[in-house]
A and B are shown apart, each in its own frame.
Chain A
Amino acid sequence: MSDRIILAIETSCDETAAAIIRNGHEIVSNVVSSQIESQKRFGGVVPEIASRHHVEQITIVIEETLEKANMQPSDLTAVAVTEGPGLVGALLIGINAAKAFAFAHNLPIIPVHHIAGHIYANALVQPMQFPLLALVVSGGHTELVFMKEHGSFEVIGETRDDAAGEAYDKVARVLNMPYPGGPHIDRLAHEANEGVEFPRAWLDDTYDFSFSGLKSAVINYKHNMDQRGEEIIPEQVAKGFQDSVVEVLTTKTVRAAKEFNVKQVIAAGGVSANKGLRSSLEQAFEKEKIPFTVPPLKFCTDNAAMIGAAATYMYEAGVRGDLSMNGIPGKELKSWI
């Protein structure tokens, strides 16, 4: 069989990204243009600003991707693009660029779900083993996804309010840490021996998550300390918060892995770069003797290589988009087989 070479484009949030993936796992080139420096001014991602940056960067990023790969459009098998979920105005830049490019070169288009992309980041590192359980944690998502085989997704648990990464950003703001807050909290948490005691939201036997109560508990704690004229110790607050998040995520992931009798557990999404969460999951699954993997950091945060990896399997399964494709900000994760 000839090589399947996919140009993938991802613009769902604040990274303008493109990549070329050969046969679903080989990264031929991978370019990410981040807006973090610009968005820092606003303490978070402003959708209108994100869209404006994407339109400035999009052709530059795609060209760099082709040049690094030393490829021409005629070398490509298909064009893949993130269809959703994400910021609608941001998604539309990648989608319309992908459609125009596909039209210009008469290539098929593959619409990819952003979370499927995060999960398939693992296919860039090693072949996926099924049945598989994925914990997807990022600024926009906290989900447990069960996969029987390639292209089959069952969301068995999700957050009922804030995403884990969102809670991290909000708590970071309480502690006067700059955006994005996750890495700062993670670092601070490791500098304390003891954490402030915060609650854990177990939500009974479900695999769902909730982080807004925890976030409020942190805010209340700071407020009470302020009223008493006492100084909080940021390291201890960070550790207390992170311990609560990590314990709930780890416990539920382990329980689901056992119940579904999976052969592999993977973590995906920006928050899976968190050292505290990573080591807790690693230890737990070592004990359970279930293989556990996290892709390297650059494939945890948003990138197009992961979109290209997922798209290759979709291409094989015959999934195609067309020129009327639109951005779907709240797109659900559905099986493609």
Chain B
Amino acid sequence: MIWLGIETSNSPLSIAIVKDGQVLVEIVENVKLTHSVTAMPTIQELFHKAKMKPMDIDAIAVSEGPGSYTGIRIGVTIAKTLAWTLKKPLVGVSSLKVLAANGELFNGIICSLFDARRQNVYAGIYQGTDLETVMEERHTSIDDLLSQLQSLNKPVLFIGSDVENFKENIKEQLGELAIFAPSSITLPRASKLIEVAETKSLPSIEEVHHFVPQYHRLAQAEANWIQDQKKR
């Protein structure tokens, strides 16, 4: 079974080709280039290195969000188009879970997060090597997230390159219980994405057309519009 994994949900880029559980090639970049410019050439390069043709893969895994709206859409558009035209199943994995998977050996709570601006975050809370969900992934204020974590009263591994932005806040709220992942595991890896995707059942090929990003937020205009409708 050969997998192509595509992760573009935030500013890092990761692409991997995994064959029968073995990573053949993987790239992890954090040089803040536009995914639209780098993603496809990187995919091409990896196929070249793996000495494979697009048709050789059996399934595609993509990081479906949350994260940067444009970033998610680039990865999902590429993954959807490849899966549809090559007639391969497409599996979506939460970008928060992909990141949390980097800390799966941690014996405690794992919290992955992305900065969503104005003291808000996209966050997921998991535990155990199978990344059991403790809290559904969501868009929430950092304060609400931290008070929820506090109530669990267990050591928490914080993971993600945006954790830095909230470090003081986290330390203040959780004190000794807060553990910060080293920078070497704060970037999402497409091989981890594939690992999580392999635990899911393969959807049918027909479902590719209906695959959509998981933004975890309405577009601002839509949120305003819904508010307006309620007022009427």
Residues of chain A touching chain B, judged by Cβ–Cβ distance below 8 Å, are 41-42, 46, 48-49, 51-52, 55-56, 58-60, 62-63, 73, 89, 92-93, 95-97, 99-101, 103-105, 322-327
Contacts and interface: CB of A to CB of B under 8 A. Distances in A.
Nearest to B215: A52
Interface stretch (B71-79, B93-101, B167-175, B191-199): B71-79
A73 B87 CA distance: 13
A323 B47 CA distance: 14
B84 A59 contact: yes
B39 interface: yes
Contacts, number: 101
A56 B38 CA distance: 23
A46 B218 CA distance: 13
Contacts of A326: 34, 36-37
A104 B4 CA distance: 13
B203 interface: no
B77 A93 contact: yes
B219 A101 contact: no
29 contacts: A48-B219, A48-B221, A51-B69, A55-B73, A55-B213, A58-B81, A59-B81, A59-B84, A59-B85, A62-B81, A63-B84, A92-B70, A93-B77, A96-B36, A96-B39, A96-B77, A99-B40, A100-B77, A100-B82, A103-B40, A103-B43, A103-B44, A103-B54, A104-B55, A324-B37, A324-B40, A324-B41, A326-B34, A326-B37
Nearest to B55: A104
Nearest to A97: B81
Interface centre among A51, A62, A89, A96 (most CB of B within 10 A): A96
Contacts of B37: 324-326
Contacts of B213: 52, 55
B208 A59 contact: yes
Contacts of B69: 48, 51, 89
Given A55-B73, A103-B82, A322-B41, 11 more contacts: A51-B73, A55-B76, A60-B209, A62-B84, A63-B84, A89-B70, A92-B73, A97-B78, A100-B81, A323-B44, A326-B34
Interface of B: 34, 36-41, 43-44, 54-55, 69-70, 73-74, 76-78, 80-82, 84-86, 208-209, 212-213, 215, 219-222, 225
A95 B69 CA distance: 16
Contact of B222 (A49, A63, A323): A49
Contact of A104 (B77, B86, B209): B86
Contacts of B54: 103-104
Contacts of B80: 55, 58-59, 97
B86 A97 contact: no
Nearest to B40: A323
A77 to B, nearest CB: 16
A155 B37 CA distance: 29
Contact of B81 (A56, A96, A324): A96
